[in-house]
Amino acid sequence: MIDWRIEAVTFGNCNCDLNCPCQFELDPTKGHCRGMEVGIIERGHFGDVTLDGLRYVQTYAWPGPIYEGNGEMQSIVDARADPDQRAALATLLHGGETDEAKTHWWVFHAMSSRIHETLFLPIEVEIDVAARRARASIPGVFEASGKPIVSPATGEEHRVRIDIPHGIEFEIAEVGRASTRNSAAVALDLDGSYGQFNRIHHTGKGVVRTRAA
């Protein structure tokens, strides 16, 4: 297996309520799942191919809970990537060179029966995990934004986090509210639903853990 590592800051949005049941091993709010993940790779490599600074978008949809499968997915990779970087990211975002079920990329790919062609497009993105704010754009294709939850009682920003010590995506994530429009293969029209802001640290062996369980 090719040695690889990715450390990235990410922003996600799905069609679930703000307290996404999927994070608690429950079925999705509406019975089905549609969502996306945007990432900025801070440090990364695939063999001797450097991935630092590249961006990506993942879009997904399942007709029921993710674990029932029969979903579809599409990866969109930073147009600035050279041919080797494009091949590396297309492999990793599809769960390649990874031990079975050790990352969310592997699981999401395995649970998708339709894998759309990877696109290579310019991606603009800003993510502030601590502030629970993000913006992402692919002109004419994709627009997403995230912001904090605001308490209806006080009008102040409400902070809540999800801690998953043995998860396959992150160790801890900040939760907010997000909206996404996507007109590529996996259509998305999300408005004020579950938003997630976090860092990931993945290798082919799974999540690199820095916090005590």
Position 211 scores a pLDDT of: 81
Position 40 scores a pLDDT of: 98
Number of domains in the chain: 1
In a domain, residue 213? The reply is no
In a domain, residue 142? The reply is yes
In a domain, residue 209? The reply is no
pLDDT tens for 3-49 read: 999 999 999 999 999 999 999 999 999 999 999 999 999 999 999 99
Within 10 angstroms of residue 212's Cβ, the number of other Cβ atoms is 5
In a domain, residue 17? The reply is yes
**Sign of the torsion formed by the C-alpha atoms of 168, 172, 177 and 182:** negative
pLDDT tens for 115-152 read: 999 999 999 999 999 999 999 999 999 999 999 999 99
Instruction: Give the structural domain span for 189.
Output: 4-201
When pLDDT is averaged across residues 45-64 and rounded to a whole number, the result is: 98
